[in-house]
């Protein structure tokens, strides 16, 4: 739903930004003017001629009263609203249109500019000359964005050469080139919450790339012609895409947090790469808590994780926690969050006594001892799509499940199930007949139970 609309000019408006601390919107247009509005009262705060050609971009400093503008006149200008919107600095150096400027969130005294002269320049606010130039695109550069998360000194650019490039602005080198678009790359951004790079193109597609592996994760095409802008909100998984034919908002990722609870009631969860913990056994001690009441959690920061967590799980005695993601795993101590072991894994499974198995590929399973030493490497004769732990090691295909003894990897039982298993639990029952009990479920939420004992398999639907 549109909340408010501002009539700015009859000519195109190419850039507009919120200045939330002032309740303003600042916009630059093809009539060479910058206009500032109060978005609550709709009053016009300031109008002034800023450039001698089309204004391509405006950028707002996160803390200082500064606005940058870039233009087809090949200039970048810095405006100070505390000084009546006076132009305090002019930055010259580009030899073609300056398409975009953006402040560095990790060093707000510096900013980057992208130009159709095929270069990206890094500047300091107090100097009229660029600090250095990044040169690597074969055609004009349309867009630039800084990486906001973690310690990596990265920025990303998009170009008319149909590629996006990730740069290390400390070593001044290109880290990765993202190829796949069929037309000019017109918008790029690092997502602030998820390990995702987003690129938009005049080919009408938006591509999602993993920001660590640079693997293409998804391609979106909503048939709204060319992509011109990307936006996001911090703390949200929503992104906004601006097209020739309109604007859409979509959700990416999942809202459910990655978490695990041990047998004593201690919960560990991941908030992006940060790890937090709470003991829910102490919540409301001595006080009755009503159904639906929010729990007063005393959350503690445990530390951070070297990979983006996609799965997190305690071992049976709660001493260790495994974090999986990006094709890797790391085992941490649950109390001090110290790294004890790591390796490659598509999937990870704990045994009931603290050993574990990793699925490195569909044809390689490795079993490790409680001391994190590799004990056995298995090459199954079938393609393993999933592994599950417990008192038995389960290896699943889309047609059957095989259960193995952890000690010597002896096949205990094969169960034919022509479904894709999404969850499986195996435990040992001593009475009335010693046997292994298994529950498993599919993505259609159908639950099956079966009993595995010597010479007998019973399936209950």
State the average pLDDT for the chain. 89
> In the CATH scheme, what is the homologous superfamily, with its name and number, of domain 258-286+295-460?
YVTN repeat-like/Quinoprotein amine dehydrogenase (2.130.10.10)
Q: Distance (Å, rounded) from C-alpha 460 to C-alpha 283?
A: 39
**Cβ atoms within 10 Å of 2's Cβ, excluding its own:** 4
Q: Fill in the DSSP letter of residue 93.
A: -
Task: Dump strand ranges (E) for 293-445.
Answer: 300-304, 311-314, 320-325, 328-333, 339-344, 347-350, 356-361, 364-368, 374-378, 386-388, 393-396, 400-404, 411-416, 421-429, 435-442
The helix/strand/coil state of 170 is: coil
**pLDDT score of 459:** 39
Matching fold, domains 13-251 and 258-286+295-460: yes
pLDDT band at 429 (very low <50, low <70, confident <90, very high): low
pLDDT tens digits along 370-386? 999 999 999 999 999 99
Cα separation, 460 vs 248, in Å, equals: 47
Instruction: Dump pLDDT digits (tens) for 131-140.
Output: 999 999 999 9
Question: Taken in order 211, 215, 216, 218, is the CA torsion positive or negative?
Answer: negative
Per residue in 293-330, pLDDT (tens digit) is: 777 778 889 988 878 888 999 999 999 999 998 889 99
Determine the pLDDT at residue 180.
Answer: 95
* pTM recorded for the entire structure: 0.75
pLDDT given for residue 194 in this prediction: 85
Percentage of residues of the chain with pLDDT beyond 70: 89
If one counts every other C-beta atom within 10 angstroms of the C-beta of residue 140, the result is 18
Give percent of the chain above pLDDT 90. 66
Query: How many C-beta atoms lie closer than 10 Å to residue 377's C-beta?
Result: 11
- Answer for the pair 327, 342: CB distance below 8 angstroms, yes or no: no
Architecture of domain 13-251: 7 Propeller (2.130)
pLDDT for the residue numbered 57: 97
Q: Where are the domains of the chain?
A: 13-251, 258-286+295-460
Confidence class for position 453, pLDDT limits 50, 70, 90: low
Is the pLDDT confidence value at 456 over 50? Answer: no
Amino acid 391: pLDDT: 87
What average pLDDT does this structure show over 69-73?
A: 98
């Amino acid at each position: 739903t549109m909340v408010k609309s501002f009539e700015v000019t009859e000519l195109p408006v190419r850039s507009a930004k919120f200045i939330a601390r002032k309740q303003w919107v600042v916009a630059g247009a093809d009539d060479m003017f910058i206009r500032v509005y109060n978005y609550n009262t709709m009053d016009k705060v300031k109008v002034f001629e800023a450039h001698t050609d089309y204004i391509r971009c405006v950028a707002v400093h996160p803390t200082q009263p500064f606005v940058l503008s870039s233009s087809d006149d090949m200039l970048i200008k810095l405006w100070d609203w505390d000084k009546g919107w006076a132009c305090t600095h002019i930055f010259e150096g580009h030899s073609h249109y300056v398409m975009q400027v953006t402040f560095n969130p990790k060093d707000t005294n510096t900013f980057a500019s992208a130009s159709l002269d095929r270069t990206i320049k890094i500047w300091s606010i107090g100097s009229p000359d660029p600090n250095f130039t990044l040169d690597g695109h074969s055609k004009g550069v349309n867009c630039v964005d800084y990486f906001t998360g973690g310690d990596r000194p990265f920025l990303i650019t998009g170009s008319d050469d149909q590629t996006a490039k990730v740069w290390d602005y400390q070593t001044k080198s290109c880290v990765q080139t993202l190829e796949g678009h069929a037309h000019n790359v017109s918008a790029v951004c690092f997502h602030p919450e998820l390990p995702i790079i987003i690129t938009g193109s005049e080919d009408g597609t938006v591509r999602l790339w993993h920001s660590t592996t640079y693997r293409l994760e998804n391609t979106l095409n909503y048939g709204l012609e060319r992509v011109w802008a990307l936006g996001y909100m911090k703390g949200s998984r929503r992104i906004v895409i601006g097209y020739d034919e309109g604007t859409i908002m979509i959700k990416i990722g999942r809202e459910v947090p990655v978490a695990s609870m041990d047998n004593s009631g201690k919960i560990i969860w991941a908030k992006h790469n940060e790890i937090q913990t709470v003991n829910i056994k102490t919540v409301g001690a001595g006080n009755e808590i009503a159904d639906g009441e929010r729990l007063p959690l005393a959350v503690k920061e445990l530390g951070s994780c070297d990979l983006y967590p996609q799965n997190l799980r305690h071992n049976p005695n709660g001493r260790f926690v495994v974090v999986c993601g990006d094709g890797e795993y790391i085992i941490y101590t649950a109390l001090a969050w110290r790294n004890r072991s790591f390796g490659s894994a598509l999937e990870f499974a704990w045994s009931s006594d603290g050993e574990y198995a990793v699925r490195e590929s569909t044809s390689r399973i490795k079993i490790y001892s409680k001391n994190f030493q590799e004990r056995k490497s298995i090459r199954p004769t079938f393609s393993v799509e999933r592994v599950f732990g417990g008192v038995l090691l389960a290896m699943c295909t889309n047609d059957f499940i095989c259960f193995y003894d952890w000690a010597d990897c002896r096949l205990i039982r094969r169960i034919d199930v022509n479904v894709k298993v999404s969850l499986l639990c195996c435990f040992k029952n001593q009475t009335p007949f010693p046997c292994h009990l298994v529950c498993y479920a599919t993505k259609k939420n159908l639950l099956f139970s079966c009993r595995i004992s010597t010479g007998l398999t019973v399936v209950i639907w």
